[in-house]
Amino acid sequence: MRFGFIVKSQLVMVYVPYSLNSSSPDDISYEMLGADLPPDDILKIRRAVELIAPVPPDNRLESGEEIRSHAVGMALIAAGLKLDVDSRIAALLFAVYEKSQQKAKEWIEKEFGSDAIRLVSGLERLNGLRVIMPGISSSLNESRRQSEVLRKMVLAMSDDIRVILLQLAGRTQTLRYYEEHPGVARNETAHESLDIYAPLANRLGVWEIKWEIEDRSFHFINPDAYHKIARMLNGRRAEREKFIIETVAFINGKCAEAGIKAWIYGRSKHIYSIWKKMRAKQVPLEEIYDLRAMRVIVDEVDDCYKVLNIVHQLWTPIENEYDDYITRPKVNQYQSLHTAVIAGDRRPLEVQIRTWEMHERAEHGVAAHWRYKEGIRGTGVKDAYGNKVDLLRKLLAWRSDVADTSNWDEEFKRAELDDTIYIMTPGGRAVDLPRGATPVDFAYCIHTQVGHRCRGAKANGSLIALNTPLISGQEVEITTAKKGGPSRDWLNPQLGYLKTSRARQKVKQYFIALDRSRTIAEGRSLVSRELQRAGATKFSNDELAARLGFSDVELLFLAAGRNDVGSGAIRQALLNSPDESEKEQDFSLRKSKAGKRQDGVLIVGMDKLLTQLARCCKPAHGDEIRGYITNGKGVSIHRVSCSNFIGMSRLNPERVIDADWGKTPTATVYGVDTVVECVNRSGLLRDIMEVLSHENINVTSVNIVSRQGSARLSITLEVSDTKQLQHALQLINNVPAVQSVRRV
């Protein structure tokens, strides 16, 4: 039976003024540090305090605070959060571990156990993040993205949730110190606290820490707005909390009278949250109706409306401040009744009413509180990161319900966040990559040119191989060459250089562009040779390209390099005008009825002409074709897409003649040239031949060119028509390591 009430208000942690400069450890309140712990654990805490007593007072953090004072402050906050003895010891030992050598680490482990030293080590690792926070980009969108990556990184780097809680306690202690000792880094610390640590505390449900971090940080960043809101609030926080306690008890009694089982709790809104709502809604403080709020959780939906009726009968509802998200859920399936009323003291009070099922979905489901509070709109499908945060929040709740906490830490050990790792650049930027990503993936994530010219990598200052999987939290530095490109070995999946599809695609694009450049160079050389042979070295390449039907001279060179434009076509284009006798010879062909060839080619308007399939484009049955009347060699049959044919037809359109496929003899086959681009591997050619042999497709020639881990195969196939050709190309494309296949 769920019944009763609880007040969730800001936890005012007691900051105990003390000095270890001249006092003994006995001056510290062990009752506070060991609150709720058995006597044996309090003795452990006493030994930890004795251990940090000799730490010199001039050992200070970057904030200026003495390490010992900071450690005790952390331990007090950990005690306020009711963390276990190992967590409190870890907070204290932070003081010696921060400045100690390996001997101290071994001594701590021997004295307090492996669990304590693991927490201290994890805390030290997270403290390393302090140097990277200022690296967040000044761009608003990039800054938000970086903040989100860093929040995830804090969780990913922790294999024990207590480390994160200690980190939050440490940050809270630093903000308390800055309250009394303003420093040059105070505002910078406040900004990163709002960006990183307050959202983490919110996501984990550690509301007391969240509220204190937000209010203190806001006070440092914008003191004028802070004090203005504080002055405008009617009554002090204590008075508001007293009102909440009395109101919760009053509503609780009314629900009991109506026979409604309810769990009720309330809270008074803190200053930073008020300021955010005033800015978001662009309204004055008087129009913020949830400065004081309470939530009622019941068993049944009908009870929600019964409680709503009770509230509206007791107090006057505020117009336009009622929302029924039960009958009309939000897009993310959030359900609850929201209303605002003028309470007995004539001040606004917000009331939320929901069932336990709705509450569970709101707290741990797709409508999780932290998602809408931080503007993260879910799609309705929870990711692994969201699931992890939900788990951590549930574990924190379990901690409060379990009396025996001896095995509590086992719930939190070594749980992976998701399949993401978080890597730092030397400049402080956080990069998220899939687990298993390598330095090459990291380089391409930074910039395409950094990836292309990547030649080496360091992780935390040590050289590593380029195919080494990276680990969350590493700072990776890429060594680049001044010029050059990637290695074709990177595309070999067996070598493990690339994990991300983005990096793999960038490498492929580089080599496609590189192959194009080489083909263009070969085509330029071929055209130059033909111009020299024809004695036309002064002939413009641009004019030659235009005569052959190319809009750009580069396309001409590319076609020539691929043998799509042959020497004959170039020589023909160089002729200013054909010889008249040749014209007469060409057109003395007798026109008559359409005639058929034995190869199935039908020449429209000509009878029994000598025909031949062009070797430049090798047409096959099913291709769209046309004929070109040659000088003394009959009609050459081309595919209409043949660049050679396009160029000749533009020069001499009168030579073009219609052609089509007639009835093709069943035994007729056509030789078709194909090019296969692939990663070079053992057995590749054998696998290609096997799939072709299985389909009874004959191969008449194969030419292989291998270069730096990749290969280009020029294969001539014998097919009966274009349908069989397309089927063959699909089969080849499905062979592992084949990147692309095309007909020439």
pLDDT (tens digit, 9 = 90+) per residue, 135-169?
Answer: 444 444 555 555 655 655 565 555 677 888 888 89
Is 1 a residue whose pLDDT tops 90? no
Predicted local distance difference test score (pLDDT) of residue 23: 37
CA distance 245 to 6: 8
Is 403 a residue whose pLDDT tops 60? no
Tokens, residue 155: 């969780």
**192 alpha-carbon distance from chain centroid:** 21
Mean pLDDT of the region 257-283: 83
Answer with the residue of higher pLDDT: 123 or 87: 87
* Best CA proximity match to 353, nearest among 313, 402, 301, 396: 301
CA distance 332 to 693: 55
Is 3 a residue whose pLDDT tops 70? no
> In terms of pTM, does the model score above 0.75?
no
Predicted local distance difference test score (pLDDT) of residue 138: 45
Tokens, residue 83: 């963390």
Answer with the residue of higher pLDDT: 542 or 416: 542
Predicted local distance difference test score (pLDDT) of residue 416: 39
Is 39 a residue whose pLDDT tops 60? yes
Is 360 a residue whose pLDDT tops 80? no
Long-range contacts for 375-384 (Cβ within 8 Å, ≥24 apart)? Answer: 377/332, 378/332, 380/331, 380/332, 380/333, 383/418, 384/417, 384/418, 384/419
Predicted local distance difference test score (pLDDT) of residue 396: 54
Mean pLDDT of the region 383-398: 55
Predicted local distance difference test score (pLDDT) of residue 653: 84
CA distance 325 to 354: 10
Mean pLDDT of the region 578-593: 38
DSSP symbol at 64: S
Predicted local distance difference test score (pLDDT) of residue 97: 63
pLDDT (tens digit, 9 = 90+) per residue, 419-447?
Answer: 677 788 887 677 878 889 999 999 998 89
pLDDT (tens digit, 9 = 90+) per residue, 587-608?
Answer: 333 333 334 444 556 665 455 5
- Mean pLDDT for the chain overall: 76
CB 728 within 8 A of CB 695: yes
Is 517 a residue whose pLDDT tops 70? yes
CA distance 367 to 382: 10
Predicted local distance difference test score (pLDDT) of residue 433: 86
Q: What angle do CA 147, 148, 151 make, to 5 degrees?
A: 85
Mapping DSSP to helix (H, G, I), strand (E, B) and coil, where does residue 316 land? strand
Is 565 a residue whose pLDDT tops 80? no
Is 385 a residue whose pLDDT tops 70? no
Is 241 a residue whose pLDDT tops 90? no
Predicted local distance difference test score (pLDDT) of residue 331: 64
Predicted local distance difference test score (pLDDT) of residue 457: 94
Predicted local distance difference test score (pLDDT) of residue 410: 44
DSSP symbol at 71: H
Pairing of the two strands 292-298 and 348-355: parallel
Answer with the residue of higher pLDDT: 578 or 49: 49
Q: Which of 164-168, 564-568, 699-703 has the lowest mean pLDDT?
A: 564-568
User: What domains appear along the chain, each with residue ranges and CATH number?
Assistant: 4-221 (1.10.3210.10), 237-378 (3.30.460.10), 420-485 (3.10.20.30), 498-571 (no CATH), 577-668 (no CATH), 670-743 (3.30.70.260)
Is 315 a residue whose pLDDT tops 70? yes
Predicted local distance difference test score (pLDDT) of residue 145: 58
Reported as a pLDDT band with limits 50, 70 and 90, residue 388 is: low
Spell out the residues 6+ positions from residue 234 whose beta carbon is closer than 8 angstroms to its own: 347
Reported as a pLDDT band with limits 50, 70 and 90, residue 629 is: confident
* Size of the chain, expressed as the number of residues it contains: 744
Q: Which of 132-141, 218-227, 499-508 has the lowest mean pLDDT?
A: 132-141
Predicted local distance difference test score (pLDDT) of residue 317: 94
Answer with the residue of higher pLDDT: 636 or 391: 636
In 10 A of CB 305, how many CB atoms?
Answer: 16
pLDDT (tens digit, 9 = 90+) per residue, 718-738?
Answer: 898 888 999 899 889 888 888
Reported as a pLDDT band with limits 50, 70 and 90, residue 642 is: confident
Highest mean pLDDT (candidates 90-99, 192-201, 255-264, 662-671): 255-264
Burial track 572-607 (b if 16+ CB lie within 10 A, e otherwise): bbbeeeeeeeeeeebeebeeeeebebebebbbeebe
Mean pLDDT of the region 679-683: 83
Predicted local distance difference test score (pLDDT) of residue 658: 86
Predicted local distance difference test score (pLDDT) of residue 384: 55
Mean pLDDT of the region 174-180: 91
CA distance 572 to 629: 13
Mean pLDDT of the region 677-681: 86
pLDDT > 70 in the chain, percent: 74
Is 280 a residue whose pLDDT tops 60? yes
pLDDT > 90 in the chain, percent: 17
DSSP symbol at 318: P
Predicted local distance difference test score (pLDDT) of residue 337: 96
Is 68 a residue whose pLDDT tops 90? no
Predicted local distance difference test score (pLDDT) of residue 680: 84
Answer with the residue of higher pLDDT: 500 or 569: 500
Residue 563 Rama label (left phi>0; alpha psi -120 to 50; beta): left
Predicted local distance difference test score (pLDDT) of residue 581: 35
Predicted local distance difference test score (pLDDT) of residue 21: 36
Tokens, residue 408: 């509590």
Predicted local distance difference test score (pLDDT) of residue 44: 87
Is 711 a residue whose pLDDT tops 90? no
Q: Which of 192-206, 355-369, 574-588 has the lowest mean pLDDT?
A: 574-588
